[in-house]
């Protein structure tokens, strides 16, 4: 069932010479895994609503790695949202672009993964869990390693700017490793932008160690072209008393798959996951989240909301795993969807596995239409239909955007969302 894929996608990617031969063990073991299992077919439980392999096969013709394209600082600046203050790490087709980035290293230490060869690489994101992690392991070309030293608060947010376009090949595979030491504090912003509307496949892996008593916010915006296919694996190890908060806002793309895994490794830690997907056309966005409670007295909060128009498709799968040791766990999960069209589809599935007996877990999901009563109420007070609708949808989505931890970035996202909601999508 996956043989063609093995030949095409895997073989072409894997046969490419990786420019830096480090991490040979990680690469070799990942490669073996891939050769054995291939990329996920639709039969696989984890990918049953998201036929990503087939999508790749049908949309991507050149599985070689995209090359750095000719970008100048003007282009980069035009894609930095208004009001941003802080360092920018520019990824040009997945390659870190030194000339275009601005790295002050104020409060953090920056290096290329291939220079630093960090021990931790590949230790947080489990390659066995997702074949795309293995694929990135086996064949990533470039990436960055950031370290926030103990007791350090990074004052300004750090922006990862992924500028993508297929150029030379259609596969883009960046890699990020972040190590936050004890008592440190940092906010990351990530913006994914297509520079043209040709198809490409971006396969990103982000690993984050959230050290003891540290605080990390990761805010991600996905607003790529209608032909962009992307898979994101973000996995975090969260240590004692640490807080990690993720906000993922998905607004466009052809097919997007996000795997977000939070490993709550010790007591007193907290993991927060917020997501918003606002979809139209044929955009397909799949959020698979996984939170693993391993020790007592940790908590997780999760809220994903979706608004779907046209024949878009949303998938939400939220796993909460509470191990036997993890007494006094608090885990909360919620997924709410509004469908604006008869052709839009949402598949939502909470997956709770609870092995401890003294825990507080709650979950819920709703899928419905816009509240007609509320719409009538606002119109009866003189508000135009479009405006009333936009206001209700904005109120629905606002709860997620409230959690974006940088004001300028929040304004940026709110502006895009409001424009979309006010204009019939």
Q: Is the CB of 353 or the CB of 386 nearer to another protein?
A: 386
Taking CB under 8 A as the criterion, the residue among 57, 330, 363, 394 binding another protein is 394
For residue 392, the minimal CB distance to another protein (Å) is 7
Three state DSSP letters for 379-402: HHCCCCHHHHHHHHHHHHHHHHHC
Q: 60 and 170 in contact (C-beta within 8 Å)?
A: yes
Q: Which of 345, 287, 278 is nearest to 311 (CA)?
A: 345
Q: Is 382 in the site for another protein (CB under 8 A)?
A: yes
414 touches another protein by CB under 8 A:
no
Regarding 398 and contact with another protein (CB under 8 A), the answer is yes
CB of 305 to another protein, least distance (A): 11
Rule CB under 8 A: say whether 380 interacts with another protein.
yes
Query: Measured between alpha carbons, how far is 305 from 274 in angstroms, rounded to an integer?
Result: 8
Tokens of 384: 């135009």
CB of 6 to another protein, least distance (A): 48
Residue 68 φ then ψ, to 5°: -55, 135
String of DSSP letters for 62-116: --SBPPP----HHHHHHTSPTT--SEEEEEETTEE-TTT-B---TTSEEEEHHHH
Tell me if 419 contacts another protein by CB under 8 A: no
Structure tokens at 280: 């139209």
Collapsing DSSP to helix, strand or coil, 260 comes out as: strand
Q: How far is the CB of 329 from another protein (least distance, A)?
A: 28
Q: How far is the CB of 384 from another protein (least distance, A)?
A: 5
Question: In the numeric block, which tokens belong to residue 59?
Answer: 């949309």
- Whichever of 355 and 376 has its CB closer to another protein, that residue is 376
DSSP designation for 282: T
- Confirm or reject binding of residue 385 to another protein (CB under 8 A): yes
Asked whether position 424 contacts another protein by CB under 8 A, the answer is no
Residue with Cβ nearer another protein (83 or 384): 384
Taking the complex as a whole, the smallest distance from the CB of residue 336 to another protein amounts, in Å, to 11
Q: Closest approach of Cβ 81 to another protein, in Å? A: 24
Which helix (H) or strand (E) is 285 found in, with range? Answer: strand 284-293
By C-beta, is 311 or 387 nearer to another protein?
Answer: 387
Of the pair 147, 420, the CB lying nearest another protein is at 420
Decide if residue 395 touches another protein (CB under 8 A): yes
What tokens does 20 get? 């830096």
Q: Which listed residue (26, 383, 414, 416) binds another protein by CB under 8 A?
A: 383
> DSSP secondary structure string, 394-424?
HHHHHHHHTT-S-HHHHHHHHHHHHHHHHTT
Contacting residue, 223, 387, 405, 411, with another protein by CB under 8 A: 387
Min dist. Cβ of residue 372 to another protein (A): 8
Q: Is 146 helix (H, G, I), strand (E, B) or coil?
A: strand
Backbone angles phi, psi at 9, to 5 degrees: -65, -60
Q: Show the tokens assigned to 400.
A: 């997620």
Least spacing, CB of residue 187 vs another protein, in Å? 25
Decide: 209 and 240 in contact? Cβ < 8 Å: no
Q: Calculate the alpha carbon distances from 248 to 185, 200, 223 in Å.
A: 19, 21, 11
Q: Which is nearer to another protein, 355 or 377 (CB)?
A: 377
Contact call for residue 296 and another protein (CB under 8 A): no
Min CB(285)–another protein separation in Å: 22
- Interaction between residue 378 and another protein (CB under 8 A): yes
In the complex with another protein, which residue's Cβ is closer, 25 or 372?
372
Determine which residue in the list 43, 358, 381, 423 makes contact with another protein, applying CB under 8 A.
381
Q: Which residue has the tokens 């936050």?
A: 180
Cβ distance to another protein smaller for residue 126 or 391 = 391
Residue of 147, 125, 146, 105 lying closest to 204 (CA atoms): 125
Using the minimum distance from each CB to another protein, give the nearer residue, 327 or 334.
Answer: 334
Q: In the window 318-377, what residues touch another protein (CB under 8 A)? A: 371-374, 376-377
Q: Which stretch binds another protein (CB under 8 A): 61-69, 128-136, 232-240, 391-399?
A: 391-399
Contacts with another protein by CB under 8 A lie at: 371-374, 376-385, 387-388, 391-392, 394-396, 398-399
């Amino acid at each position: 069932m996956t043989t063609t894929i093995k030949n095409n996608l895997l073989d072409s990617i894997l046969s490419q010479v990786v420019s830096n031969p480090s991490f040979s063990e990680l690469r070799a073991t990942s490669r073996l895994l891939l050769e054995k299992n291939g990329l996920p077919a639709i039969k696989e439980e984890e990918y049953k609503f998201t036929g990503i392999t087939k999508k790749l096969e049908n949309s991507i013709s050149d599985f070689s790695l995209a090359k750095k394209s000719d970008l100048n600082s003007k282009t980069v600046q035009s894609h930095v949202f208004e009001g941003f203050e802080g360092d920018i790490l520019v990824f040009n087709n997945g390659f870190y672009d030194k000339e275009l980035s601005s790295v002050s290293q104020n409060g953090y230490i920056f290096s290329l993964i291939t220079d630093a060869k960090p021990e931790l690489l590949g230790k947080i994101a489990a390659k066995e869990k997702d074949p795309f992690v293995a694929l990135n392991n086996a064949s990533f070309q470039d990436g960055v390693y950031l370290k926030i030293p103990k007791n350090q608060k990074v004052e300004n947010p750090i922006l990862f700017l992924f500028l993508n376009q297929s150029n030379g090949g259609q596969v883009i595979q960046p890699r990020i490793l972040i190590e936050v030491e004890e008592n440190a504090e940092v906010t990351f912003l990530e913006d994914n932008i297509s520079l043209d509307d040709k198809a490409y496949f971006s396969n990103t892996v982000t690993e984050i160690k959230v050290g003891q008593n540290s605080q990390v916010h990761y805010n991600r915006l996905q607003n790529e072209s209608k032909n962009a296919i992307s898979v994101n694996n973000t996995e975090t190890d969260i240590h004692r008393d640490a807080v990690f908060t993720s906000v993922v806002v998905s607004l466009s793309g052809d097919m997007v798959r996000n795997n977000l895994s939070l490993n709550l490794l010790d007591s007193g830690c907290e993991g927060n996951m917020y997501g918003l997907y606002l979809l139209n056309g044929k955009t397909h966005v799949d959020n698979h989240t996984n939170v693993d409670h391993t020790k007592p007295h940790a908590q997780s909060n999760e809220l994903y909301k979706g608004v779907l128009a046209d024949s878009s498709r949303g998938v939400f799968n939220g796993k909460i795993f509470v191990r036997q040791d993890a007494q006094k766990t608090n885990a909360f999960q919620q997924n709410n969807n509004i469908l604006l069209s008869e052709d839009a589809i949402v598949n939502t599935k909470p997956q709770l596995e609870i092995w401890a007996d003294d825990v507080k877990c709650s979950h819920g999901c709703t899928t419905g239409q816009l509240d007609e009563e509320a719409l009538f109420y606002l119109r009866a007070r003189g508000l135009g239909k479009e405006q009333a609708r936009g206001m209700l949808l904005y109120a629905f989505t606002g709860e997620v955007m409230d959690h974006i931890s940088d004001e300028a970035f929040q304004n940026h996202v709110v502006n895009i969302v409001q424009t979309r909601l006010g204009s019939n999508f």
